[in-house]
Structure 1
């Protein structure tokens, strides 16, 4: 499975990137308007036409795409029209903050969902089980931006416990304490938005494992329930859990982008919005291909982890 997914990665990246250029060429937005900003209305038609030629906006999409691919193969991602910087610089300045938020949020979601899922699945009908299922349904039906706005309204505006948004307080340097304090809300919201799906998956996997022949045999031999849970049930539930995490990666990335926008976190999301609005082809293509590559790598790692957890699963499926 992992080998097939790896072989599929390159043609998929080509299709995704080419489709991006083709669709962007049909966009109703005028990239010059975003590029010039307030100067757009005062710029003459002749100057607009000249600038469009210089930027290659009149070229067919396949020519623009071919130019981008040639630059990519030579290690040059191009220059972002929106930010006036090399694309590598734009991404390099923002990617670490996105990775910090996403990794912390995903890590918290994994730990919380696994604990809740195992606890709920191992004690069906118990207090935790009766609480987890309805709460999961409510959170699943709530978009991440609603969770974000609700968290801001309660914990930042009403209670004043945490800052509203941003990386630091206005006029202060990004110290460890400042960044940590500003991370609490976005990380928690991102984690909460993912916990229901993961927890319910673990809950079902635990229940399936409890009904397996291995667990029934362990009980027949008089092995204590705690030992059965830790040595038999939890390992059996890990495989499906890893698979679900791999499948949820696109949703996690989208959720992180929404959280970044609501909390004004200086990550990749703002660059995505700007590049899409202004048809900044070099930046938009790099972000799209990069995101697709992250999803593919994450899915590949999930396949490898599943093969390590379950010897019955091989790298080639």
Structure 2
């Protein structure tokens, strides 16, 4: 299964990169004009065309794509036109901070989603169930950036418990684990909560379905305690479809990370994609887009592998 998924990833990545180049070609924004900024009106057309030739923008789009693809296979991502640094260096500096925030948020949302969804199923049709289900639906409808601004207003501005953004305090001369952890609380919490609604609702429906199965009814008939029935019987069987949902939600997790990093000024890879888009910095934007696609593919692969490990019958059925 892993081999087939990896083989399928190759043409998919080629399609994504080809579409990315096609969109850049038809884009109304001129990267040279965007690069020059206020100097564009003062720069002669000869200089503009020289920059265009230096960047290879005067060549056909197919030739540009093949050149970029060849450089990619050699590990060369080019230089950022807006940050004036190698793209690989920018990604290398920021990737670890994104993985830290997204990894912690992913663990938090999975555990919290499963626990809260199970509580709602356990108390079906009670006030707790209605509160959890209604809160999850309202949370799903709320934009991530709006929720982040509310959290900043309450916990950073009014209460002053946590900083409003950044990696460390402005006066800090070094990066310490305690300072990073203090700044990580709000963005990690916002990302986890904003992406956990469907996990809560799905866990609730999955546990409710298992609770109606014959083996659960039989366990109750044998006099087992309700907590034992829920944890050892129902919850274990409900985990299989819950694991599958993790891979499906990966695209929204990537999108949420972009918004959260931007609002909280977290120095990760996701936030730099916004900077690259605003500056029409195609080398950096192309690399970040490719990295986001790889993250989605890897998330789906990991979810499928976990599903097979939890239920080996999946491979036999396939």
Same fold at TM > 0.5: yes
Report the Cα offset of residue 92 of structure 1: 0.6
Provide runs of 4+ in structure 1 moved above 6 Å: none
Offset, 1:169? 1.5
Residue 314 of structure 1 corresponds to which residue in structure 2?
315
Matches within 5 A, 1:259-270: 259-270=260-271
* Deviations 1:85-124, CA, capped at 9 Å, x for gaps: 1111010111111111111111111111111011111221
Q: Residue 257 of structure 2 corresponds to which residue in structure 1?
A: 256
Return the TM-score normalized by structure 1.
Answer: 0.95
Separation of aligned partners in 1, 2:94 and 2:129: 40
Q: Structure 1 residues 100, 316: closer, same or farther in 2, change over 3 A?
A: farther
Partner residue of 2:110? 110
- Residues 168 and 179 in structure 2, CA contact (< 8 A), matched pair in contact too: yes
In the other structure, the counterpart of 1:125 is: 125
* Kept after mapping to 2: 8 A contact 1:118/1:206: yes
Gaps of 5+ in 2: none
For the residue of structure 2 that corresponds to 1:25, the secondary structure is helix
- Once residues 305 and 37 of structure 2 are traced to their aligned partners in structure 1, the CA distance between those partners, rounded to angstroms, is 48
Check 1:166–1:315 CA distance in 2 against 1; reply closer, same or farther (3 A cut).
farther
1:315 Cα offset (Å): 7.6
1:57-80 deviation per Cα after TM superposition (whole angstroms, max 9, x unaligned):
222221111011111111212222
2: distance between equivalents of 1:56 and 1:171? 43
Match of 1:305 in 2: 306
TM-score of the superposition, structure 2-length normalised? 0.95
Query: What is the SS of the residue equivalent to 1:169?
Result: coil
5 Å-filtered alignment, 1:116-195, equals 116-172=116-172, 173-195=174-196
1:214–1:259 CA distance, 2 compared to 1 (3 A): same
- Following the alignment from structure 2 to structure 1, what is the Cα–Cα distance between the partners of residues 316 and 170? 50
Confirm or deny that 1:55 pairs with 2:46.
no
Q: CA deviation at 1:184?
A: 1.1
Q: What is the rounded CA distance, in whole Å, between the counterparts of 1:278 and 1:191 in structure 2?
A: 29
Distance 1:50 1:75 in 2: 27
Give distance in 2, aligned partners of 1:161 and 1:73: 47
Q: Secondary structure at the match of 2:313?
A: coil
Question: What are the residue-to-residue correspondences of 1:78-93 with 2, within 5 Å?
Answer: 78-93=78-93
Contact 1:205-1:240 at 8 Å conserved across structures:
yes
Residues 3-14 of structure 1: matches in 2 within 5 Å? 4-14=4-14
User: 2:205 — aligned with what?
Assistant: 204
Q: How far apart are 1:82 and its partner, in Å?
A: 1.9
Separation in 1, partners of 2:22, 2:6? 25
2:166–2:264 contact (8 Å) kept in structure 1 = yes
1:222: how far off? Answer: 2.6
Residue number in structure 2 paired with 1:290: 291
Contact residue 259 and residue 271 of structure 2 kept, 8 A:
no
Give the C-alpha shift of residue 41 in structure 1.
3.0
1:279 corresponds in structure 2 to 280
Structure 1, gaps ≥5 residues long: none
Moved more, 175-184 or 200-209: 175-184
Q: Which has the higher contact order (CA 8 A, sep 6+)?
A: 1
Instruction: Tell me how large the CA RMSD over aligned residues is.
Output: 1.7
